[in-house]
Structure 1
Amino acid sequence: MQRLDFQLERDFIELNQLLKLVGLVDSGGAGKAMVAGGAVRVDGVVELRKTCKIRAGQRVEVGDVRIDVAAG
């Protein structure tokens, strides 16, 4: 499994924007489509809310990629 660390510089980031910023998708729209398709897990649970607020300490998984979100 590939592991990515993301440093959060504010209280939260929207899930679709996180996917874009770490380079898993080319745009926020593509991130929304990925989330809507059920391909994204947040803390081990499938997340279908495209703009779900991701906060420090949470883990996001897409396929074999894991993103650990930490406070910046």
Structure 2
Amino acid sequence: MEFSLQEQAFIELNKLLKLLNIAESGGYANQMIINGEVYLNNKIETRKRCKLKPGDTVSISNTEITIYIKH
């Protein structure tokens, strides 16, 4: 799966999970991150508001999301 930043420079990790309906709510997204269920570039990420930039890859369960800029 891919996510385009379009006009923004970054997106926060918890907002991405909610926006893509991976998490039912922002609170649930935060809990998934705190519990160590989310990986950023193959490392566990526990910062809820971590800024994702082009080239980053987020993995959770069987889902992998690559961040890019749409030109």
Structure whose residues are more often strand by fraction? 1
Tell me which stretches of 4 or more aligned residues in structure 1 moved more than 2 Å. none
Gaps of 5+ in 1: none
Equivalent pairs, count:
69
In the aligned structure 1, how far is the partner of 2:53 from the partner of 2:46?
A: 16
How many Å apart are 1:65 and its aligned residue?
0.5
Q: Which runs of 5+ in 2 are unaligned?
A: none
RMSD value over aligned CA atoms?
A: 0.8
Distance in 2 between residues matched to 1:64 and 1:30, nearest whole Å: 18
Aligned to 1:23: 21
- 27, 41, 62: which one aligns with 1:64: 62
Calculate the TM-score normalised by the size of structure 2. 0.92
